Amino acid sequence: MRLTLVAALLAVAGCKSVVVGDWQSDTELANGRRNELSVSSDGSAEATIFATPDNAHDTWVGFAFEAEWEQDGDEFDFLMECDQGPCDGNDFKMECQVIKEEEDGDEKLDCNGAAKWTNYPFDWERDSP
């Protein structure tokens, strides 16, 4: 009984994971915008990601994603489910690590996508408050 109570209190108080918070792409996209990722401590996340079709590089399409994430050691796996945009076949898994920049100490989120998003540059920085 006591162990269950302690476990329940730890779950409620819990330690906030380093990935929790608001992130944006580390560079401005050619459309003048930045991708956005908001990660919650309850294992959910939301993202807005812009991309161009292979046949029209000046046409930008916005995708809205709902996601679930889990931590495995120092790695974070996001299951990205397309919620808005041309969603057919655009759900994917994104694997990430939080790294500290040596020169300025800022945290970055370095991610790799899968499926259609394999070659997309998922490099995030903390969104300024």
Which pLDDT band, with edges at 50, 70 and 90, does 129 fall under?
low
Residue 75's pLDDT is 96
For residues 41 and 13, the answer to whether their CB atoms sit within 8 Å is no
Residue 10's pLDDT is 36
Can you tell me the distance from the alpha carbon of 4 to that of 10, in angstroms, rounded to the nearest whole number? 10
Residue 14's pLDDT is 53
pLDDT of 38-57, one tens digit each? 999 999 999 999 998 878 88
Residue 103's pLDDT is 75
pLDDT of 73-124, one tens digit each? 999 999 999 999 889 999 999 999 999 877 777 899 999 999 999 999 999 9
Can you tell me the distance from the alpha carbon of 7 to that of 30, in angstroms, rounded to the nearest whole number? 48
Domains of the chain: 16-126 (2.40.128)
Q: What secondary structure, in 3-state letters, does 71-127 show? A: EECCEEEEEEEEEECCCCCCCEEEEEEEEECCCCCCEEEEEEECHHHCCCCEEEEEC
* 25 beta partners: 124
Can you tell me the distance from the alpha carbon of 93 to that of 90, in angstroms, rounded to the nearest whole number? 10
Kindly report the pTM of this predicted structure.
0.83
Residue 11, token pair as written in the block:
């779950």
